[in-house]
A and B are shown apart, each in its own frame.
Chain A
């Protein structure tokens, strides 16, 4: 029998936690589902070397986690991956050992973002990781203390990752920001409009200079036999080789819109679409709300506000939702400021060579893709995006590298499941249940 809640929230990052809290505060029952084993999302999670008592997160975050523990109206389902969303709404979830169905009066999608990494020679070597991914793995105890690390890409996540990795005992050999020095200065000059961001930046500043932060630079190649051994960095037209065991690389974030798309919610934006929402965070589908990075990249503060608005609105508490709209607009401007100053330079789109793998699941190279003249038959002929990640990695990259293959023209009906799911789950069976 499916378990029923007034509100279902998908994702326990900043947006999902805020949504659950405000909906519960409005008197509704909330089912909060998240695939991670602990709340907080990808960036806000606690490293295993810190005991909970030593954690000093922001007040808002602490209150939210407390609400999760103490508010009996919120039922939290950690470690459950949603493999199917149905209108209704209903969520089919899978755990390592079972599956379940949850139904709700309405649904708040807070599925966050993933990192954009544009392929370059050697990027599939073990040791090359997405920037935030390396941070997440380090927080989960990945042994980074031994080898040197190069961090590359764009945006403030470079600095946040560097700080975490230093705390984990890593040696940072270089931090290379692809944006120009002028763009970074413009970013800093605009920060006083958001004072908390100034404080955060000041906290990072001493370390970042010590760790060799440089602008106008990017990694052009990862080198190594079987595993990563070094990277080639290009900086203002000059190239050099830096030995390292890990490369964390991220060119920004892109919204995880798959669940929303599967539910028929309208998307907007190019080349990485976000979920379109109204002033109350409601999507084009009645009763389905979206909050946080999936509606456009803007950071944790904006995500929390959007989550709170969605939670209030879904509970019918429109006055409270409306009261937050000015602050939301303020933080949306921060997101826009960030995106503008850390826009990718075009040379990063030119790094992949014909032999460079674009689709990691099916080992489809750029050369193989370029042989297909017709975007409509690309997937059928090369198997691009047909592997286990269901195109999550390669399709955004290809949209940057080869705009003519951008989805929209070629993407048809979403093909379930949302994530690979056990056949017995799709058959509506619990493990071991007789036919």
Chain B
């Protein structure tokens, strides 16, 4: 029996899309070559964050959808909020602007002066001029959320094909490594490997590192991100670092972040980890004595303009993409799923699809 939709990739984006499609009445099959969450989903932090850039509307809508999921999709959701931490007076002025942009999307935020910042997060360095608290941001444990989304999709009727590798798109469906085929509309949601099936869509894996600490007595309550973080996201440079620290519900800390382009080696690079940690100590000097249990790296799927590809691929019939979410795939999985299904069913949705149209960036065949 041929499905209406074949979702390739059981990461968080593919799973959310499969669930939304199934709930919308589409006969859906999810295909995964490895194990669910083996790619970007399992490597990330799980920070649900509204970014003040071209993804503002999508991320704000996505957070609404996350909150609407029963038990937040079993994701161990915690409403920690985010504090964007300024290092300089210029940073603080930028955060004031960010606050206005958030307000326009009905997202609450509160500017903090140095003293209020200290009061909320006493571990922060005392010379920091202030910050911006976004109280509705949250953290999740993405592997659990993924397991929930897949289970919901399955009980709604979707089929999950594990250990099956799609080698190419046939025009009307997919061909597997064993030579068999499946016919139906196709959604490519294979994260940083998206270009393998859709070479016309440029995606550059962007390596990142995370450190997890031992459970300890740190008093950090909010996800803390330095104000300059977005600059490192949008900077095309070779290697950038920015303080981004998350308190896990178990008392451990996730410590990031780094971005490196043009690197394929998945091993941990001690040099960039050292740079990253030094940057973190600038904001959180007491973390120097905390112990790291594990360091790992992952690859964010980055597009040239920093925006994901969400929509139909021109010239390929019923082939769709949900790719290139960089570091924001977990946050925007829910909004991406809603947007896609609206587009597939030709419904007018709440998010403007134009900025994400894959046609904008297609390479000549």
| A/B contact in complex, CB under 8 angstroms | yes
Please report A residues at the B interface, Cβ cutoff 8 Å: 84, 86, 374, 376-377, 380-381, 386-388, 390, 413, 415-417, 420-424, 426-429, 431, 435
The answer to whether B290 and A423 touch across the interface, beta carbons within 8 angstroms, is: yes
0/1 string, B135-152, CB within 8 A of A gives 1: 000000001100100000
Whole-angstrom CA separation of A415 from B291 in the bound complex: 14
Interface residue from A84, A388, A417, A429 paired with B288 (Cβ < 8 Å): A429
CB distance from A214 to the nearest CB of B (A): 41
Stretch at the interface among B84-92, B114-122, B195-203, B292-300: B292-300
Complex Cα distance, B270 from A51, in Å, reads 44
* Residue B263 lies at the interface, judged by CB distance under 8 Å to chain A: no
Is the CB of B289 closer than 8 A to any CB of chain A? yes
Of the candidates A86, A388, A416, the one whose C-beta lies within 8 Å of that of B214 is A388
Among B162, B255, B277, B290, residue most surrounded by chain A Cβ atoms (within 10 Å): B277
Residue B293 contacts which of A388, A413, A427 (CB distance < 8 angstroms)?
Answer: A388
> Is the CB–CB distance between A423 and B255 below 8 Å?
yes
Contact B147 A421 (CB under 8 A): no
> Chain A: which residue is nearest B213 at the CB level?
A423
CA distance A429 to B281 in the complex (A): 11
CB-defined A-B contacts under 8 Å, sample of 22: A374-B35, A377-B36, A380-B37, A380-B42, A381-B144, A388-B214, A390-B293, A413-B296, A416-B294, A420-B214, A422-B291, A423-B280, A423-B287, A423-B288, A423-B289, A424-B288, A426-B270, A426-B277, A427-B273, A428-B274, A429-B288, A431-B288
Q: A377-B36, A380-B143 are in contact. Are A421 and B278 (CB under 8 A)?
A: no
Asked if B177 CB lies within 8 Å of chain A CBs, one says no
Instruction: State which size class the interface on B falls in.
Output: 35 or more
Q: Does residue B282 face the partner (Cβ distance < 8 Å to A)?
A: yes
- List chain B residues, Cβ under 8 A from A84: 270
Q: A420-B291, A423-B280 are in contact. List 18 more A-B contacts (CB 8 A).
A: A84-B270, A376-B34, A376-B38, A377-B36, A380-B37, A381-B147, A386-B212, A390-B294, A420-B214, A422-B292, A423-B289, A424-B288, A426-B277, A426-B292, A426-B295, A427-B277, A428-B274, A429-B278
Q: What residues on B are CB-neighbors of A376 within 8 Å?
A: 34-35, 38
Chain A positions within 8 Å of B214 at CB level? 388, 420
- A241 and B82 CA atoms in complex are apart in Å by 55
Docked CA distance A322–B256 (Å)? 50
Return B58 CB to nearest CB of chain A, in Å: 26
Among B36, B143, B288, the one with the most A-chain Cβ atoms within 10 Å of its Cβ is B288
Contact A426 B147 (CB under 8 A): no
**Contacts A423-B255, A426-B277: A413 and B291 contacting too (C-beta < 8 A)?**
no
Q: Which chain B residues lie closer than 8 Å to A413 at the CB level?
A: 266-267, 296
Residues of A within 8 A of B37 (CB): 377, 380
Distance of A435 Cα from B280 Cα, bound (Å): 11
Q: Which residues of A contact B51 (CB under 8 A)?
A: none
Contact of A421 among B35, B143, B215, B291 (CB under 8 A): B291
B294 pairs with A415, CB closer than 8 A: yes
> Any chain A CB within 8 A of the CB of B211?
yes
Is B268 located at the chain interface by the 8 A CB criterion?
yes
Known A423-B213, A426-B273, A427-B277; contact A417-B295, beta-carbon cutoff 8 A: yes
A422 B289 Cβ-Cβ under 8 A: yes
| Beta-carbon contact of B293 and A423 below 8 Å | no
B277 to chain A minimum Cβ distance, whole angstroms, is 4
Q: Identify the 8 closest CB pairs spanning chains A and B, nearest first.
A: A376-B35, A380-B143, A427-B277, A424-B288, A420-B291, A428-B274, A415-B294, A427-B274
Which residues of chain B have C-beta atoms less than 8 A from A429's C-beta?
Answer: 278, 288
- In the bound complex, residues from chain A placing their C-beta under 8 Å from that of B292 are 417, 420-423, 426
In contact, B296 and A423 (Cβ under 8 angstroms): no
**A422→B288 contact, CB < 8 A:** yes
CA distance A388 to B290 in the complex (A): 12
A390 to B214, CA, bound (A): 11
CB neighbours (8 Å) of B213 from chain A are 423
Contact in complex: B278, A427 (CB < 8 Å): yes
Q: How far is the CA of A424 from the CA of B286 in the complex (A)?
A: 10
B231-284 interface (Cβ within 8 A of A): 255, 266-268, 270, 273-274, 277-278, 280-282
CA distance A417 to B277 in the complex (A): 14
Q: How many contacting A-B pairs (Cβ < 8 A)?
A: 91
The B173-221 residues at the A interface (CB cut-off 8 A) are 211-215
Interchain CB contact under 8 A, B278 and A435: yes
Assess A424 versus B289: contact at CB under 8 Å? Given A84-B270, A390-B294.
Answer: yes
- Residue of chain B at shortest CB distance from A390: B293
Chain A residues with Cβ below 8 Å from B282 are 435
CA–CA, A84 to B291, complex, Å?
13
Given contacts A427-B274, A435-B281, contact A374 B291 (CB under 8 A): no
A421 to B213, CA, bound (A): 9
Task: Give the chain B neighbours of A423 by CB distance below 8 A.
Answer: 211, 213, 255, 277, 280-281, 287-292
B-chain residues with CB within 8 Å of residue A390 when the two chains form the complex: 293-294
B278 close to A86 (CB less than 8 A): no
For the complex, give the distance between the alpha carbons of A431 and B288 in Å: 8
Contacts of A374 in B (CB 8 A): 35-36, 162
Across the interface, name the chain A residue whose C-beta is closest to B38: A376
**What is the chain B residue whose CB lies nearest that of A90?**
B270
A376 vs B213: C-alpha distance when bound (angstroms): 23
Q: Which residues of A contact B277 (CB under 8 A)?
A: 423-424, 426-427
The winner among B144, B270, B280 for most chain A CB atoms within 10 A is B270
Nearest neighbor of A376 in chain B, beta-carbon distance: B35
Within 8 A of A (CB), among B275-331: 277-278, 280-282, 287-296
Complex contacts, B294 vs chain A, CB 8 Å: 386, 390, 415-417
Give the distance in Å from the alpha carbon of A377 to the alpha carbon of B42 in the complex: 9
Quote the shortest CB–CB distance from A238 to chain B (angstroms): 43
Chain B residues with CB below 8 A from A86, complex form: 270
Q: Which residue of A lies closest to B289 (CB)?
A: A422
Chain A residues contacting B38 (CB-CB under 8 Å) are 376
Q: Report the minimal beta-carbon distance from B146 to chain A, rounded to whole angstroms.
A: 9
Expressed in whole angstroms, the Cα–Cα distance for A386 and B296 within the complex equals 12
Q: When A422-B288, A426-B273 are in contact, do A415 and B268 touch as well, CB less than 8 Å? A: yes
**Which B residue sits closest to A389, measured CB to CB?**
B293
Contact present for A415 and B296 (CB under 8 Å)? yes
**A381-B74 Cα distance, complex, nearest whole Å:** 11
Note all chain A residues with C-beta closer than 8 A to B215: 388
With both chains docked as a complex, state the minimum distance between the C-beta of B276 and any C-beta of chain A, in angstroms.
8
The answer for the CA separation of A236 and B270 in the assembled complex, in Å, is 55
Complex: A435 Cα to B279 Cα, angstroms? 9
Q: Which interface residue of B144, B268, B291 has the most chain A CB atoms within 10 A?
A: B291
* Nearest-Cβ distance from residue B93 to partner chain A, whole angstroms: 25
